[in-house]
Structure 1
């Protein structure tokens, strides 16, 4: 069984913001695979279903970004999963171009407070994650204001493509083909940067 958790903030005013792309990917998975994310458990909305023949629990923590680890830890313990193999975290990344993806097997928080909280509560940096690019903060912008801001019309188009790619990227992780997924999605970034 896999827990696939998208990070975000719970209030309506945060819908569609850069910081809530994790929730948006969960919504994409939910719609595509017909999994309702409407049960409450461990301070999160969850939904159980099947993706790629694997039992999954889609998760949208309701703790606010900075406390995401509290909810994730509770779910990991309750469902008795191995975070190093069966936990996938989806979140925004300001170091990637809008809509670009990067898959990682492990790593530091890289300044992301939601990931910092999860690492702290799991006492480990080893869990698969999918970063979704939201674009670099413009100079002189406050980072908090930037990530809590909304996408432009053009950026929304790129994000829709990113969400669809994220849905596909998740299937590689579920099929235990994370390296192949990394080759496909992580190289796209390098090609466009050249």
Structure 2
């Protein structure tokens, strides 16, 4: 089975680490932490690490470009891995249109106005790449007075981070299902928010 390229989107720099726009970075960090390895190798204008998920080799990547140039890094990684976006690419990113804590798996589609997704569509030449959208939309009292683009680049509050943490765990589970069973299975298990059993595939440590 071909290597799966799993890319989390975000902006580099410590000032952006805990902002909603960096949910994709935080999700791949969560996977790497479970495997006990750092995302520290440099290739394709990204920080990368290799892990095993259910017996499949996975390359985790965090582009070192700005969000709106994410496609440059993704295209370079696909070329280096000799991978096809329609089959071997899975991208995780924040979605302002979804409530905070929501996770949705999709097999492809338009960018929906997300600059990182828009850049990937343009640079890889297709919208047919799998994605996991992590909801960060402010809602109710938690999001009171916090809206739009400014909100995406502001550090999250403790309650927001708690909700996001649950979504990051679910996103990591979604990656494992995609790697072992495919996108359709992940959509069926993750999108309806069904309880996930303890027999889900695990991430194992692998040499970098």
TM-score past 0.5 threshold: yes
CA distance in 1, matches of 2:84, 2:185: 21
CA distance in 2, matches of 1:32, 1:151: 23
* Other structure's SS at 1:134 match: strand
> Which is richer in helix?
1
Would the aligned equivalents of 1:36 and 1:48 in 2 still touch at CA under 8 Å? no
- Tell me whether 97-106 or 142-151 shows the greater mean CA deviation: 142-151
CA distance in 2, matches of 1:95, 1:12: 25
Unmatched segments (≥5 aa) in structure 1 = 190-194
2:37 aligned with 1:35, yes or no? yes
Would the aligned equivalents of 1:4 and 1:59 in 2 still touch at CA under 8 Å? yes
* 2:66 alignment partner in structure 1: 64
Q: CA RMSD in A?
A: 1.8
Would the aligned equivalents of 1:20 and 1:91 in 2 still touch at CA under 8 Å? yes
CA distance in 1, matches of 2:157, 2:85: 35
Q: How many residues align?
A: 189
Instruction: Give TM-score scaled by structure 1 length.
Output: 0.92
* 1:5 alignment partner in structure 2: 7
CA distance in 2, matches of 1:100, 1:15: 20
- 1:22-63 deviation digits (Å, cap 9, x = unpaired): 000011000102232101112110111211111111000010
| Superposition map of 1:9-158 within 5 A | 9-136=11-138, 143-158=148-163
Would the aligned equivalents of 2:138 and 2:146 in 1 still touch at CA under 8 Å? no
Instruction: Give TM-score scaled by structure 2 length.
Output: 0.86
Unmatched segments (≥5 aa) in structure 2 = 195-208
* Other structure's SS at 2:27 match: helix
